[in-house]
Chains A and B, each alone.
Chain A
Amino acid sequence: MKRYLGVLLGVLTAIGGFVDIGDLVTDAQVGARFGWSMTWVVLLGVGGICVFAEMAGRIAAVSHRATFDLVRERLGPRVGMLNLVGSILVTLLTFIAEIGGVALALQLVSSVNHVLVVPFVAAAVWIVLWRAKFSSIENVLGLLGLSLIGFAVALWQLGPDWNDVLHQLAPTSNPGGESWTTYAYFAVALFGAAMTPYEVFFFSSGGVEERWTRKDIGVMRANVFIGFPLGGILALAIAGCAAEVFLPHGISVETLGQVGLPVALALGKIGLAVVVLGFFAATFGAACETGLSVGYSLAQYFGFQWGKYVRPRDAAGFHVIILLATALGAGVLLTGVDPIMVTEMSVVFSAIALPLTYLPILVVANDPDYLGEHRNGRLANVLGVFYLGIVLVVSLAAIPLMIVTSMGQH
């Protein structure tokens, strides 16, 4: 019974923790501008993160090695350093966006300008990362993140014409009449948001933190193959709500408040309050994950002690890095930079960093030294190579598309 409860808790927190500020903003923007025509990108991205998270989780369970360990071991110190610099920049950018997202969620509730809230949010994130248990962070914020189910309920209440939705599912429908380069840019951003590298850094490091063993592979797979796709459905619901409310009027999504507006229309104040709680939990949870991921990446590259499974004094360098990253994030946001713009940049740069993260995972997942009998089977390899090809194309296309479309403006 305890085991089943553990699986259920893991799945629920995987659903609640799946969506972050990048998904919230990008899904709503895409829904408002492209309707349901990018559903295939969400499904593709969810499939990709499932494939690689499962491999990274399996490696963590069997060999107790997290993803950045593998990056340096297989790519060497030079290319590993290149990846480290790129990944840290992307993860820091995402961390900044998440802290900004928490501040924006609190602004929705309090009407206090988000810049004034940022120092308190940053302090709260750091205290939680310093003092709270790893499992408490994951479980409490993951369960609160389930409040975003409000979007699925709102979509049902908005009563979309499902025949029309079915027509829009075709990638060629492009109901907003946007140019195809803009379409491609947002497809790359959406894919980057779904497969952002910090997710595997955090997932695999979390496996080491929680002392996964071979016995936990089943539970890990349940989290990935049930929790992530259900989280993906939440992402689709967010896009769907925006498609129903904004697309017919040609309104684009520029603020977090607009992301929640369809829920307010469908479910009233109570519904809005529930999803704003979801915004807070999802962004605060992701802020914790990205903050930890900055520390994980650096510590795993250089090999010094990391993790919340040891006392802070035993992983002092790791905690100092998190403190500095939090201070830097708060400092950037205090300049008045728009967190939504930071989010848009972070998901595109995520797309660029993907291959250097996922190639070592795929290679090591085939290495009997690490995985023995648990190494990749044929299906995992076919899917891994398929997705590796896609992330390569996406990463090469990201910067040209960003320049050509002026970050999706035209």
Chain B
Amino acid sequence: MIVAERKPIREILKMIEDYQKILILGCRACVTACAAGGQKDVEIMGSIIRIDRKRRGLPVEVYEKTIDRQCDPLFFAPIDNLITKSEVVLSMACGVGVNMLAETYPNKVVLPALNTGFMGLLEEQGVWAERCIGCGDCILAETAGICPLSRCPKHSLDGPCLGSINGKCVVYPENQCVWYVIYERLKTLKQLDKMERILPFKDWSKTVSPRRVIREDLRL
């Protein structure tokens, strides 16, 4: 999933300061799973905005809505009138959702309520961790399904660095060295020979923005 977190409240309140009719738009996809922009988070944000305006004696009309996905304009259709009648849309989706809203509604002010972080997973209750950097040249077949690029601060492709001690990372000692994890898993899978293979240089040109995937067989 795409992992995001709410921006500081002060930053959000400052962004929406000049507006009275505010649509807070949540997304039921990744940001719901990472507890940043789902329906509950939308309701909490609405409550915070109303408390702030009440405290300052300023009028506000807050509309709260959560749609299945903000990265697909199909889902905007049922709430089109709500978007139209609001002065600003405070999107609680990831950056992709904010972009899609902005591209779909050229005349509408769209603001982000979240900081989009990374692609990751839920490591434990309340803790999300990065697992994919979207390098465009996946090497997971060689590393037992464990990504060294997203979990090694040095992006080492050739096994553990010299600082790794007792299976722990030298940069973040609270973390396991990802190459230790890879080694252990390869051992379990009886594929330790893969540790001896030398991976080719990474083709970082595939990470240059703006990236695009084109499927000619699907194009109209």
Partners in one complex: no
- Seen from chain A, the residues whose Cβ lies within 8 Å of a Cβ on chain B are none
Chain B positions near chain A (C-beta within 8 angstroms)? none
